[in-house]
Structure 1
């Protein structure tokens, strides 16, 4: 991390960083660790979670636009979380918290069941080489974890600039009995709550189409 990010990690962590008991790895979550949104945010409000929040550009913009909601940024790269805390502090986004942790563990055990109003997965690592595609985040197993966390009627929103990954996402979510499509045709309209980030610009410059998907939690 840069010197500024190192300082942010120390100085801003008490206000923004969720300290979590670890499992076997430094970004794992202990199976007994639990998250109480009302205690953490000091109120009861819709909870929006972004998995793979990167530098935090999308979630900070959303937190500023939606002061009525609480936001949780989930990321494994410390530098990105440090930048998120710095920008949140500068912009005055007090309704955001960050956690350095593996997303599947956050969704399967850490957050309360049916507590998430919206779950966002925007431009996850595509692992575009054939030998690496098994590392992709959004799979049928991820759909199960997401279903546990998202409340009935809640939304799972995804976007990627890699067509084969988008198709794989769609296959995984279409196969889940816990979700239904919230779009018509092949792809969802661009989510108006998603700001343009460096990842999206990079995909556009490379000539790749951006594909959105939106699914509603049922049952």
Structure 2
């Protein structure tokens, strides 16, 4: 379900504030669940699913250990997040995705792989950050190929905004990394502008722009297809320094 795209109210009244708060960076997409995805939900969710009702997480208790922690917002069908979790069993991962078939796909993959270092939310990432993730608890936050909302009138829906950058900084440890990737150059430039102006960060690019494609970010089918078609991909990495 998507939000209305009415103009922002002019006043700074509670109604206006509520309107701004309710703007979403995503739309709910309907989709049929395959048998495998349904099996992932039914069998995997009780063990690996998380809900906002659990409140603020104790990550050491959740995973039963102290380890480096990464969170991905919008993992899609989950292939890259699953691959990262499989390749780094010494690390813990949390994924957030509102598309139910994608959640089912990832959970089915987790069950097949037999891994235990990954947990999943199926709700609004902003609410998860606000209500569930402790401050200074993440070593890395990943945002790969978010909706670019390419029409100018929809730019306010882009998730990378100054307030979001500040929220992410609060959740990262000092030295933690905010890693973004997009295949839309205009959105990459928007991200760069927002993050270069955001306090408490250092751009890890040698020339103050993008970083070379990091080896730790798996190549998705979507990205391979874009590469064959000549589409570019821009990666940005910013370190929390304050």
C-alpha distance after superposition, 1:46-102 (max 9, x if no partner): 110011111111111111111111000111111111100111111222101111121
Question: Structure 1, unaligned stretches of length 5 or more?
Answer: 22-31
Distance 1:56 1:3 in 2: 16
Is the 2:52–2:128 contact (alpha carbons within 8 Å) kept by the matching residues of 1? Answer: no
Distance 1:211 1:160 in 2: 5
Question: Structure 2, unaligned stretches of length 5 or more?
Answer: 1-32
Q: How does 1:17-96 map to 2 (within 5 A)?
A: 17-21=49-53, 33-96=55-118
Q: How far did residue 117 of structure 1 move?
A: 0.3
Is the 1:60–1:93 contact (alpha carbons within 8 Å) kept by the matching residues of 2? Answer: no
Q: TM-score, normalised by structure 1?
A: 0.90
Distance 2:39 2:129 in 1: 29
Q: Name 2:37's counterpart in structure 1.
A: 5
Q: How does 1:31-180 map to 2 (within 5 A)?
A: 33-180=55-202
Question: Number of matched residues?
Answer: 209
Give the RMSD, CA atoms, in angstroms. Answer: 1.5
Q: Which secondary structure state, in structure 2, belongs to the residue aligned with residue 194 of structure 1? A: coil
Q: Name 2:231's counterpart in structure 1.
A: 208
Q: How far did residue 206 of structure 1 move?
A: 4.0
Q: How far did residue 205 of structure 1 move?
A: 3.9
Q: Name 1:24's counterpart in structure 2.
A: none
Whether 1:218 aligns to 2:237 is: no
Q: Which secondary structure state, in structure 1, belongs to the residue aligned with residue 52 of structure 2? A: coil
Q: Would you identify which runs of 4 or more consecutive aligned residues in structure 1 move more than 4 Å?
A: none
